[in-house]
Chain A
Amino acid sequence: MIDAAIFRRLIKLVVWLVLSCAVYGQAEELMTFSSPVNQTRYDALVKELRCPKCQNQDIADSGAGIAKDLRHKIHDMIENGQSDKEIVDYMVARYGDFVLYRPKHNAATFALWYGPFILLGIGLVIFAVVIIRNRLRRKGESV
């Protein structure tokens, strides 16, 4: 019984700690936007761009210093009336295509974007050829 009580308290403590961290993490960087549209654009952009310092995090998620700087940069650029494309181009000019979570369509990424569909197409063709051949052969046998 006592164990259960202690256990429940422990859980409460853990939950409290986790929640307080979350609140802290958000409070650390409060950004104000002149319009809700800008806020939405900001939220989308920071998820679309990869943190150049940390391989598998977007700018929104990362605690790295550079991610924080870039968040502020994006905020300022949005508030200065620059378009999403301008902001993305700005980042790519400095950090390369690496920062794009959605790779560009170009010669280098052709296989990445279309390779699976090409392979699927080849597979379908082979599948069809095999089936047709088998059918033709069976017809030949029955005659």
Chain B
Amino acid sequence: MRKVIFFIPLVVFIALGIVFYLQLGKNPEYMPSALVGKPVPAIHLVSLDTDQVVTNVELPKGPYLINFWGTWCPTCAIEHPYLMRLAKKGVPIIGIDYKDGKASAEQWLRNKGNPYKMVLLDELGNFGVNMGVTGAPETFVVNSKGIIVYRHQGALDEAVWKSIQGYMQ
């Protein structure tokens, strides 16, 4: 019985080793969004297409994506062709032109095609702050109840889509 006590440090060491080992390879940059499980914050943004103010009422009813992008953002250019593919599949995407100008956004969409159901201008990045965005591209999945269920930081691609597809309901 007394001997067992001497093994406690070893046991603790092994337990810690296992805990730390399981953390290896995880992306330390990954930050869970504070908005997951919450409804989309109040939207009051001008639409690129109509120049009209858009509020939450006009958002799609079914599940959809909110994609933050900007013409200044190189990763967004990489992501764009994949968004076009998603749009072709019929995935509704709301584009938020984040900290960008109207003219450059229009040119970008003319040159590369427009995968967005609706493009809203967030020139000052205020809506970005309300969504807890830290940069672009960033994509949120909103379910049919209007609740944010997933957030992805960085470009969307086939692999990412596979993991978030399940949230589109």
Contact = CB atoms under 8 A, between A and B. Distances in A.
- B is a partner of A: yes
Interface of A: 52-53, 55, 64-66, 69-70, 73, 92-98
Most buried by A among B31, B32, B129, B131: B129
Interface of B: 28-29, 31-35, 99, 125, 128-135
B134 to A, nearest CB: 4
Given A66-B128, A69-B129, A95-B34, 11 more contacts: A53-B134, A64-B135, A65-B125, A66-B125, A66-B133, A69-B125, A94-B35, A94-B129, A94-B130, A94-B131, A96-B33
- Which of A53, A94, A96 has the most chain B CB atoms inside 10 A of its CB? A94
8 contacts: A53-B134, A65-B99, A66-B135, A73-B129, A93-B34, A94-B131, A96-B32, A96-B132
B42 to A, nearest CB: 13
Contacts of A98: 31-32
Contacts of B134: 52-53, 64, 66, 95
Given A65-B99, A93-B34, A98-B31, A70 B132 contact: no
Contact of B132 (A69, A94, A97): A94
A65 B135 contact: yes
Given A70-B129, A94-B131, A55 B29 contact: yes
Given A55-B29, A73-B129, A92 B135 contact: no
A65 B92 CA distance: 29
A44 B126 CA distance: 23
Give the 6 A-B CB pairs with smallest separation, nearest first.
Answer: A96-B34, A94-B132, A53-B134, A52-B134, A66-B134, A95-B132
Nearest to A94: B132
